[in-house]
Amino acid sequence: MEDLFAHSYPGTSAKTLFADVILPVPIPKWFTYKVEREFQDRIGIGYRVMVRFGNTKILTGIVARVHQKAPEAYLAKPLLDVLDDFPVVNALQIKFWNWMASYYCCHIGEVMHAALPSGLKLSTESRVQVHPDFDPEAPGFPMDERELLVLETLAKHDEMKVEQFEQLLPGKISHKIIKSLLTKGAVLLYESVREKYSPKTEQRIRLAQQYLAEKGLLQELFAQLKGKQKQEEVLLKYLQVLPVFQKPEQNTGGIVKSVLIDHGCSPSSIDTLVKKGILEAFKVTISRFDELETGQDQVELSPLQQQTLEEIQRQFQEKQTLLLQGITGSGKTEIYIQLIKEVLESGSQVLLLLPEIALTTHLVFRLKKVFGSKMGVFHSKYSDNERVEVWQGVLSGRFNFIIGVRSSLFLPFDSLGLVIVDEEHEPSYKQFDPAPRFQARDAAIMLAWMHQAKTLLGSATPAFESFYNAQTGKYGYVSLEKRYGNAELPYFHLADILADKKKNLLKLDFTRILREKIQEALNKQEQVLIFQNRRGYAPYLSCEECGWIPECEHCDVSLTYHQYQEELRCHYCGFKEKLPKACPACGSHKITTVGVGTERIEENLSLLFPEARIARMDLDTTRSKYGYQRILEDFGAGNVDILVGTQMITKGLDFDKVSLVGVVDADRILYFPDFRSGERAFQQITQVAGRAGRREKTGDVVIQTRRPDQLIFRQIMAGDYRGFYQQELRERKQFFYPPFVKNIKITTKHKDVKTAEQAALHLKNLLASIEAKKILLGPEKSLIGKIKNLYLFELWIKLEKSVSVQEQFKVQLMEAIRTLQGDRKFRPVRFLIDVDPF
DNA sequence: AGCACGCCGACT
DNA sequence: GTCGGCGTGCTC
A441 plus A560 within the same structural domain: no
Q: What is the pLDDT of residue A12?
A: 47
Footprint of strand C on the protein (CB under 7 A): A 25, 27, 29, 31-34, 51-54, 71, 73-74, 76-77, 172-173, 176, 824, 827-828
Rounded to whole angstroms, the distance from the CA of residue A395 to the C1' of nucleotide C1 is 63
Q: pLDDT (tens digit, 9 = 90+) per residue, A716-729?
A: 999 899 999 999 99
Q: How many Å from the CA of A183 to C1' of C1?
A: 23
Q: How far is the CA of A178 from the C1' of B8 (A)?
A: 25
Are residues A723 and A602 part of one domain?
yes
Q: With bands split at pLDDT 50, 70 and 90, how would you rate the model's confidence at A249?
A: confident
Domain shared by A543 and A673, yes or no: no
pLDDT at residue A209 is higher than 90: no
Span A22-30, average pLDDT: 87
Does A448 fall in a domain?
Answer: yes
Is A543 annotated as a binding-site member? yes
Task: Say yes or no: Cβ of A830 under 7 A from any atom of strand B.
Answer: yes
Number of domains in chain A: 6
**Whether residues A53 and A144 fall in one domain:** no
| Interatomic separation, CA of residue A75 and C1' of nucleotide C12, rounded (Å) | 7
For A532-571, the pLDDT digits (tens) are 988 877 777 888 888 888 888 777 888 888 777 788 888 7
Taking 50 as the threshold, does the pLDDT of residue A191 lie above it? yes
Same domain, A382 and A436: yes
Nucleotide nearest to A172 (CA to C1'): C4
Q: Measured CA to C1', what is the nucleotide nearest A24?
A: B1
Q: Which nt is closest to the CA of A179, judged by C1'? A: B4
A751 touches strand B (CB under 7 A): no
Closest CA to A524 of A660, A690, A689, A695: A660
Tell me whether residue A105 is annotated as binding: no
CATH number of the CATH domain containing A782: 3.30.70.600
Residue A640 pLDDT > 80, yes or no? yes
Is there a domain that residue A132 lies in? yes
Map residue A249 onto helix, strand or coil.
helix
Q: Average pLDDT, whole number, for chain A?
A: 86
pLDDT confidence band for A9 (50 / 70 / 90): very low
Residue where a domain terminates, one of A171, A195, A219: A195
Please give the C-alpha separations between residue A707 and each of A406, A672, A734, in angstroms, as whole numbers. Answer: 36, 15, 24
Distance CA A641 to C1' B2 in A? 53
CB A399 within 8 A of CB A338: no
Q: Is A487's pLDDT higher than 60?
A: no
CA distances from A152 to A129, A136, A172, A180 (A): 11, 10, 19, 15
In a domain, A297, yes or no: no
> Same domain for A607 and A521?
yes
**DSSP class per residue in A19-66:** EEEE-SSS-S--EEEEE-GGGGGG--TT-EEEEEETTTEEEEEEEEEE
Task: Tell me the per-residue pLDDT of A375-428, one tens digit each, with 9 for 90 and over.
Answer: 999 988 888 888 999 999 999 999 999 999 999 999 999 999 999 999 999 999
Is position A265 annotated in a ligand binding site?
A: no
Of A771, A836, A762, give the one whose Cα is nearest residue A804.
Answer: A771
Å between CA of A169 and C1' of B11? 20
Residue A237: partners with Cβ closer than 8 Å, 6 or more residues away: A260, A263, A264, A265
Nearest-nucleotide field for A828 (CA, C1') = C7
User: Where a domain ends, among A91, A106, A123?
Assistant: A123
pLDDT for the residue A549 = 85
Region A119-124: mean pLDDT is 79
**Within-domain flag for A218:** no
The mean pLDDT of A565-591, rounded to a whole number, is: 82
Q: How many Å does it take to go from CA A829 to C1' B6?
A: 22
**What nucleotide is nearest A71 when CA is compared to C1'?**
C12
Taking a C-beta distance cutoff of 8 angstroms, is the pair A393, A401 a contact? Answer: no
A463 with A568, same domain: the answer is no
Whether A284 is covered by a domain: the verdict is no
What percentage of chain A has pLDDT greater than the value 90? Answer: 43
Instruction: Give A602's pLDDT tier (boundaries 50, 70, 90).
Output: very high
- List the A822 CA – C6 C1' distance (angstroms): 18
B strand bases under 7 Å from protein CB: 1-4
Can you tell me the mean pLDDT for A331-338? 90
| A83 and A137 inside one domain | no
Decide which of A88, A105, A123 is a domain's last residue. A123
Nucleotide nearest to A30 (CA to C1'): C12
Q: Report if CB A183 to strand B is under 7 Å.
A: no
Regarding whether A184 and A86 lie in a shared domain, the answer is no
Residue A391 within a domain? yes
The answer to whether A162 and A178 are in contact (CB under 8 A) is yes
**Distance of C1' in C3 from CA in A832, Å:** 35
The CATH number covering residue A150 comes to 1.10.10.10
Contact of A724 with A460, CB cutoff 8 Å: no
Buried residues in A808-817 as b, exposed as e (16+ CB within 10 A)? ebbebbbebb
Mean pLDDT score, A11-37: 85
Q: What is the distance in angstroms measured between the alpha-carbon CA of A173 and the sugar C1' of C3?
A: 10
A26 CB-to-strand B distance under 7 Å: yes
* 3-state SS assignment for residue A776: strand
In this structure, the answer to whether residues A713 and A812 fall within a common structural domain is no
* Whether residue A789 is found in the same domain as residue A714: no
Q: In the predicted model, is pLDDT for residue A338 greater than 80? A: yes
Domain identity same for A163 and A37 = no
DSSP secondary structure, A664-728, as one string = S-HHHHH--SSTTHHHHHHHHHHHHHTTS--TT---EEEEEES-TT-HHHHHHHHT-HHHHHHHH
Q: Which residue has the higher pLDDT, A225 or A358?
A: A225
Does the annotation list A555 as a binding residue? yes
Does the CB of A818 sit below 7 A from strand B? no
Q: Which domain holds residue A774?
A: 742-835
Q: Are A661 and A527 in contact (CB under 8 A)?
A: no
- Structure confidence at residue A1 as a pLDDT band (50, 70, 90): very low
Burial of A484 (0-12, 13-18, 19+ CB in 10 A): exposed
Does the nearest atom of strand B lie within 7 Å of A55's Cβ? yes
Nucleotide B4: closest residue by CA–C1' = A55
